Chain A
Amino acid sequence: MKKPKSVLILGSGGLKIGQAGEFDYSGSQAIKALKEEGIRVILINPNIATVQTDKKLADAVYFLPLALEFAIKVIKKEKPDAILLGFGGQTALNLGLELEKKGVLKKYKVKVLGTPVSTIRDTEDRDLFIRRLNEIHVKTARSKAVENIEDAKRAAKEICYPVMVRAGFALGGLGSGIARDEKELVEKLKEAFSSSSQVLIEEYLLGWKEVEYEVVRDAADNCITVCNMENIDPMGVHTGESIVVAPSQTLTNDEYHSLREIALRTIRHLGVVGECNIQYALHPKTSDYRVIEVNARLSRSSALASKATGYPLAYVAAKLALGYSLTDLKNGVTQTTIACFEPALDYLVLKMPRWDLNKFELASTRIGTEMKSVGEVMAIGRSFEEVLQKALRMLSIGVDGFAPIHRTMNYLDEIKHPTTRRIFALAEALKKGVSTQKIHQLSRIDPWFLEKMKNIVDFGAKLPRAKYSRDALLQAKRLGFSDKQIAHAKKTTEEKIRALRHRYKVLPAIKQIDTLAGEFPAKTNYLYLTYHGSEHDVTEGSRATIVLGSGPYCIGSSVEFDWCNVQALHTLRENKRKTIMINCNPETVSTDYDESDRLYFEELSLERVMDIVEYEKPAGVIVSMGGQIPNNLALPLQKNGVRILGTNPKNIDQAERRHAFSQLLDVLDVEQPTWLEVASHSKAAEAAENMGYPVLVRPSYVLSGSAMNVAFDKESLLRYLKRAGDVSSEHPVVISKFMENAREIEIDGVAQKGKLAIYAISEHVENAGTHSGDATVVLPPQRTYLETIRRAKEITKAIIKELNITGPFNMQFLAKDNRLMVIECNVRASRSFPFVSKVTGHNFAELATKALLGYDISGEYRTVELDYVGVKSPQFSYGRIKGADPVSYVEMTATGEVACFGDSYSEALLKSMLAAGFRIPKKKVLVSLGGDENKVKMLPSLQKLYEMKYQFYGTEHTAEFLEKNGIPCKILYKISDKREPNTIALIEKRGIDLIINVPSKPLARETADGFEIRRKAVDMNIPLITNRQLAEAFIGALAEQGGNGLKAKAWSEYV
């Protein structure tokens, strides 16, 4: 075995729907596996919030777009011996294939490790794939690859409607769906062809069971399946949208092992070396099967399988890629047995997706063959009822378990045509007495699952009248009911139920995940809690430090908090503290069992954390590194006598409660936007009138649509309130003055005993009104006056002192004219912690953890005067969210972020935008500017663009305006005008390279022509800018950079 000296790993870029945190896990494991061998690791990944881009991991990190031009530059410079393509999702795989196809790898003598490129092609190209599987008589769905609409129609007729349409080479089923007739087919094709040149028309397998196996093979041809999984939602719902259990529950030995045998045969025939995933459809009445696809790379499923079994798939895959065989490697969990085995589970896991569609106005909640979920949770337990109810609570969407939710809905319809609420529709149907047979007919969900769900509903119905006996309590707990659920049913308090449980000794047992179902002694520290157990697997702990994780990824809380948590764990370890991690998100690095001394893959609820605290007797709990979920637990935990490290939870609470914080600002004489809390529609209108429109509306209870909105007049205000549903003293609404044309500044920092220790100040490119998570952020600030920075720092110091903060914090400001206002203060690590840490070169999370532990962290930190610029851009997933308006708004919609460095602001901005999926326009730009202000203000920028020889197209008024100002611009007509040239037609023909569409009132959410252009841009995958400040910045940067190549410098060359 000749090991390479240096290896290039391609990352997966910004988190987007279909490709999320799981690739931070797989990339990090691969880096660890290579580093152990003394190999130099080079990583390209612009996702600055990841653990894999930490200093301690790769030897050289490139925060660069995952695009051909940049990859070539890095390869030229670093001259790696080899490359790994399987650890950065579809993005890395596609880029790898491109590098190979263009001859780059050959030219620079870069060897592809692991699965050969020819195998990857066999799995990615549907025709090749089917042919290869035919060679060994393995059945695939009848399918035809087509490259134009006519061929597609013919293929569909041959296969018979309904058919499945899939875009080749796409991640997470993008551009796929069911076509019931030719009309639907043509609709789907337009979209599918926009993201791929090859489209597949396939046999439709509605209602078949969907089963997956994770397969590992080494170069010596040893081949194993590490885990199988069964989707509760059968075929027709994307596996990323499905509730999934592992191992399978309804498969017999014959089914399990015949699919396993096919998996081994197929993977051997294809020649995968490393890890892959094979998906099947299994007929529920005949046990006939079809292979749906093989992903010859680490995937979301493999991350889940790793966490479900304790088998470190990514780590093993990296070792196998180097040439090790499975028999050379140890089982990392037992340390005594070998890696060539198949884990036996003595528990089951359930994965549930987390959606955030209510963040998107107009988005459809239907789920199907395309992925829309933004995150997931995994529950571990020893009964189906237990894991189902656990998982529902883990989602942190405000439900306590499996029960109907208070939303009017047509539950039978939502069962038949699945929506994101299907699981609750099932609860409702069962509660209303609909038979499992009927539900099975509607949903095709296997009756076994439905009967288990019915158990929960039936018991829940009996609960209010049940006696407070030990048996009843134990049964409730074994069925996964939380104390809160029981208390709710019994009309008492959670505390009382907890006390009762203690009296009756109804307590959960702590069990290990040991990969061998107890057969061999294991040193494993990977734990979960269950009520189906009579003894603990581990001894009582003492004096460890607990770190509370961030829970499921969702919009606004994502990999950045996992990064913070992992930093906290590392810092604790470096300071000789024993560590305990509690988290429930399988897409994270923090839940790798080697990151902490004990890992509890558990709920982040008060009840569960208390269960663990009572057994572990920790020295303290860190709540400030995992975002809002642990932050919300600070006060309740303290009330239960738990020591919270850092800022007193009472003070955290003071910053969280609007009234208290506002009062504090008043005392400190710090300005804030005017606001009022009201309990009725009329009071709201009155408040808005007094402040003057526009106002920001924030109801505390929301029925549908997004929570926050900007109202420009009484009519829109009342519309939002009406949609919110309930405005009352119980559910008040906050009306605050919305500042137009204000700029946003943020300070991230760490304080110790009320004194500022380190801070970083960054500015937003977009004006206030764009959510900070959707904004383009620049560090150090380029346009903010020193005086403003000084004042922001003064205010920050005053607030820190008043709240006596120890640990991380984040402060947000509005700057307008000479005024500086505070919008909010978070007494916890913020989304931008990894960004400011990696740009300034000071690890804020590490310093914060040290501050929490009481170490003196005072010192000189250079964070403002830097010789380079870092720009962070949002990563959107609008392509996935059908019907959503891709315009920046007060509600966050970005699913991830990327950041790049530059020697200048313009270089950093361009790289960062490219890294988020933007493309530099070649020639043709469509401009559509609403209102006079936008037109006038944009004119100088458009002039620049014109001087750069770009051709303009414009909607009627914009075109007229440009022509009048000496910029030639072709008029494009609205679709409703039925005149040529038509806007939509040109976009559909892909005759445009860039679309700048700025609505007149960007926050008014107009739905007319502007929306149609924006939506079409997204559907046709054409770069789109909807914000004037960003358009100006982009054009400025483009002009400044001109023909200069964007540099491929490693992180260490900047910082």
Chain B
Amino acid sequence: MKLHLKDGTSYEGQSFGAPPAGGSVAGEVVFNTGMVGYVESLTDPSYAGQIVVLTYPLIGNYGVPKKERFESQKIQVAGLVVSEYSENYSHHEAKESLAAWLKREGISAIQGVDTRALTKKLREHGVMLGALSNNGKPRKFTDPNDENLVAKVSTKRKHVYGTEKKRIVLVDCGAKENIVRSLVARGATVIRVPWDYDFSREKYDGLLISNGPGDPTQCGVTITNIQHAMKKNKPILGICLGNQLLALAAGAKTYKLKYGHRSHNQPCIESDSKRCYITSQNHGFAVDEGSLPKDWDIWFTNANDGSNEGIRHKTENWRSVQFHPEATPGPTDTAWIFDNFMQSLK
């Protein structure tokens, strides 16, 4: 099996997942530098349409646990690239091997690739389209960002979790399960709605706009819905794609990063306290800080490259973060953001 990149280079390796349907599977090739958490990453809907390169060289070590541990119902990535797949796995929670799972879900995967060389290439050239293929170079590379990925991964109908007093509308643009778990654990009722759902008639105390895949400008309906919600005096929290959507709703702009942030070690500095938090991230687009309207300011900044990691309204309780306070995978340093959000609900 080979991984072909749009620039003409290819990497040979061995297939360890499902054979690609029609001989070839395309996607946007991105890399993630987390050292654990492949189960969580593979099921993260934000990865929809992407061929994910894991830079940690040994993958599959602890197998795959029961579904309740996933971040969504299924594997979301288009394909997986690793240096070495570990056929033997060992963990008390494991139900099957990574390969068995990939095969069952029809996802292609390749091992034996110099993932460091590939990562450096993606870093230099930016993310690139590519394809996993069993039979030569594919004719065309489809760009997943051309279609509305959010519509594909969002829930199709409304779900309600819990019966607590405090009600939160979660706009599911591809929400990770742990966002729901984090809110429920803090005593909230979560009303999970599709990305384009008009939630204005729902009775709620706070609004959470979730993470999700692709280009935020594809989610026009969501942006309009957020703008409507801003007319109500309710707290809003955005996560990842939600950060970009909130910014767009506020009138700011977003742009595509060269190769995004996909890792568990991104240092983010909070503007007031100057405290630095280690965050889990998975995004290819970012908020253009310079385009923020006057009544908004910066909440978090990436300490490595200075990009925006969160915004907040100066007077209203509307804020959002580019990273993942719900973690899974990654560090749990910013879980306090959920605590603060819960406290802000009246």
A interface residues (Cβ-Cβ under 8 A, vs B): 220-222, 224, 247-254, 256-258, 260-261, 264, 284-287, 326-327, 336-338, 340-348, 382-384, 446-448, 451-452, 509, 511, 516-521, 532-535, 537
> Is A518 a contact partner of B276 (Cβ separation < 8 A)?
no
Residue in contact with A247 in the complex, picked from B35, B40, B86, B274, CB distance below 8 Å:
B35
Closest A residue, CB atoms, query B265: A342
Alpha-carbon gap, A221 to B275, bound state (A)? 8
Closest A residue, CB atoms, query B53: A518
> Is A518 a contact partner of B123 (Cβ separation < 8 A)?
yes
Closest B residue, CB atoms, query A512: B116
Instruction: Provide a sorted-by-A list of 5 A–B residue pairs whose CB atoms are within 8 angstroms.
Output: A222-B275, A252-B91, A258-B332, A451-B90, A534-B117
> Is A382 a contact partner of B57 (Cβ separation < 8 A)?
yes
> Is A533 a contact partner of B117 (Cβ separation < 8 A)?
yes
> Is A250 a contact partner of B265 (Cβ separation < 8 A)?
no
Residue in contact with B304 in the complex, picked from A248, A256, A338, A511, CB distance below 8 Å:
A338
Alpha-carbon gap, A347 to B55, bound state (A)? 9
Which residues of the partner chain B approach A327 to less than 8 Å between Cβ atoms?
267, 269, 274, 276, 303
Chain A binding surface SS class: loop
Q: Is B341 an interface residue (CB 8 A)?
A: no
Which residues of the partner chain A approach B114 to less than 8 Å between Cβ atoms?
509, 532-535
> Is B332 a contact partner of A257 (Cβ separation < 8 A)?
yes
> Is A253 a contact partner of B304 (Cβ separation < 8 A)?
no
Alpha-carbon gap, A264 to B276, bound state (A)? 13
B interface residues (Cβ-Cβ under 8 A, vs A): 11, 31, 33-37, 39-40, 55-58, 61-62, 65, 69, 83-84, 86, 88-93, 114-117, 119-120, 123, 263-267, 269, 274-276, 278, 303-304, 327-333
> Is B62 a contact partner of A251 (Cβ separation < 8 A)?
yes
> Is A220 a contact partner of B275 (Cβ separation < 8 A)?
yes
> Is B36 a contact partner of A252 (Cβ separation < 8 A)?
yes
Alpha-carbon gap, A252 to B39, bound state (A)? 9
Closest A residue, CB atoms, query B276: A340
> Is B57 a contact partner of A341 (Cβ separation < 8 A)?
no
> Is A519 a contact partner of B263 (Cβ separation < 8 A)?
yes
A1037 CB to closest chain B CB (Å) equals 56
B175 CB to closest chain A CB (Å) equals 18
Alpha-carbon gap, A256 to B35, bound state (A)? 10
A261 CB to closest chain B CB (Å) equals 5
B250 CB to closest chain A CB (Å) equals 28
> Is B119 a contact partner of A341 (Cβ separation < 8 A)?
no
Which residues of the partner chain A approach B275 to less than 8 Å between Cβ atoms?
220-222
Alpha-carbon gap, A511 to B31, bound state (A)? 18
Add 18 more A-B contacts to A341-B265, A342-B264 (CB < 8 A): A251-B62, A257-B330, A336-B304, A338-B304, A341-B266, A344-B34, A344-B55, A346-B115, A384-B58, A448-B62, A451-B90, A516-B265, A517-B33, A518-B123, A533-B114, A533-B117, A534-B11, A537-B116
Name which of A221, A257, A383, A521 has the most chain B CB atoms within 10 A of its CB.
Answer: A257
Which residues of the partner chain A approach B91 to less than 8 Å between Cβ atoms?
250, 252
Which residues of the partner chain B approach A346 to less than 8 Å between Cβ atoms?
33, 55-57, 115-116, 119
Name which of A252, A338, A452, A521 has the most chain B CB atoms within 10 A of its CB.
Answer: A252
> Is A338 a contact partner of B31 (Cβ separation < 8 A)?
no
Residue in contact with A517 in the complex, picked from B84, B92, B119, CB distance below 8 Å:
B119
> Is B265 a contact partner of A253 (Cβ separation < 8 A)?
no
Residue in contact with B62 in the complex, picked from A252, A382, A533, CB distance below 8 Å:
A252
> Is B84 a contact partner of A344 (Cβ separation < 8 A)?
no
Alpha-carbon gap, A535 to B89, bound state (A)? 29
> Is A345 a contact partner of B56 (Cβ separation < 8 A)?
yes
> Is A535 a contact partner of B117 (Cβ separation < 8 A)?
yes
> Is B274 a contact partner of A344 (Cβ separation < 8 A)?
no
Which residues of the partner chain A approach B90 to less than 8 Å between Cβ atoms?
250, 446-448, 451
Closest A residue, CB atoms, query B40: A253
> Is B36 a contact partner of A256 (Cβ separation < 8 A)?
yes
> Is A347 a contact partner of B57 (Cβ separation < 8 A)?
yes
Alpha-carbon gap, A261 to B328, bound state (A)? 13
> Is A342 a contact partner of B331 (Cβ separation < 8 A)?
yes
Which residues of the partner chain B approach A336 to less than 8 Å between Cβ atoms?
304
Closest B residue, CB atoms, query A334: B304
> Is A253 a contact partner of B328 (Cβ separation < 8 A)?
yes
Alpha-carbon gap, A336 to B330, bound state (A)? 23
Alpha-carbon gap, A251 to B56, bound state (A)? 14
A320 CB to closest chain B CB (Å) equals 13
Given contacts A250-B90, A253-B36, A451-B88, contact A344 B265 (CB under 8 A): yes
Alpha-carbon gap, A518 to B117, bound state (A)? 8
Q: 9 tightest A-B contacts by CB? A: A253-B37, A451-B88, A448-B90, A517-B33, A518-B119, A344-B33, A534-B114, A517-B55, A382-B57
Which residues of the partner chain A approach B330 to less than 8 Å between Cβ atoms?
253, 257
Which residues of the partner chain B approach A347 to less than 8 Å between Cβ atoms?
57
A562 CB to closest chain B CB (Å) equals 30
B300 CB to closest chain A CB (Å) equals 13
Name which of A248, A264, A346, A348 has the most chain B CB atoms within 10 A of its CB.
Answer: A346
> Is B116 a contact partner of A253 (Cβ separation < 8 A)?
no
Which residues of the partner chain B approach A446 to less than 8 Å between Cβ atoms?
90
Which residues of the partner chain A approach B36 to less than 8 Å between Cβ atoms?
247-248, 251-253, 256-257
Residue in contact with B39 in the complex, picked from A253, A348, A509, A519, CB distance below 8 Å:
A253
B75 CB to closest chain A CB (Å) equals 16
Alpha-carbon gap, A537 to B114, bound state (A)? 11
> Is A532 a contact partner of B263 (Cβ separation < 8 A)?
no
Alpha-carbon gap, A538 to B62, bound state (A)? 33
Which residues of the partner chain B approach A516 to less than 8 Å between Cβ atoms?
33, 265
B35 CB to closest chain A CB (Å) equals 5
Name which of B34, B114, B269 has the most chain A CB atoms within 10 A of its CB.
Answer: B114
Which residues of the partner chain A approach B278 to less than 8 Å between Cβ atoms?
224, 340-342
Which residues of the partner chain A approach B88 to less than 8 Å between Cβ atoms?
447-448, 451-452
Closest A residue, CB atoms, query B124: A521
Which residues of the partner chain A approach B11 to less than 8 Å between Cβ atoms?
534
B97 CB to closest chain A CB (Å) equals 12
Closest B residue, CB atoms, query A340: B276
Which residues of the partner chain A approach B265 to less than 8 Å between Cβ atoms?
341-344, 516
Which residues of the partner chain A approach B39 to less than 8 Å between Cβ atoms?
252-253
Name which of A261, A326, A382 has the most chain B CB atoms within 10 A of its CB.
Answer: A382
> Is A518 a contact partner of B34 (Cβ separation < 8 A)?
no
Residue in contact with A257 in the complex, picked from B116, B123, B327, CB distance below 8 Å:
B327
Which residues of the partner chain B approach A340 to less than 8 Å between Cβ atoms?
267, 276, 278, 303
Which residues of the partner chain B approach A383 to less than 8 Å between Cβ atoms?
57-58, 83-84
Which residues of the partner chain B approach A284 to less than 8 Å between Cβ atoms?
92
Closest B residue, CB atoms, query A454: B88
> Is A341 a contact partner of B303 (Cβ separation < 8 A)?
yes
Alpha-carbon gap, A224 to B275, bound state (A)? 12
Name which of A261, A287, A519, A537 has the most chain B CB atoms within 10 A of its CB.
Answer: A519
Alpha-carbon gap, A337 to B115, bound state (A)? 22
B56 CB to closest chain A CB (Å) equals 6
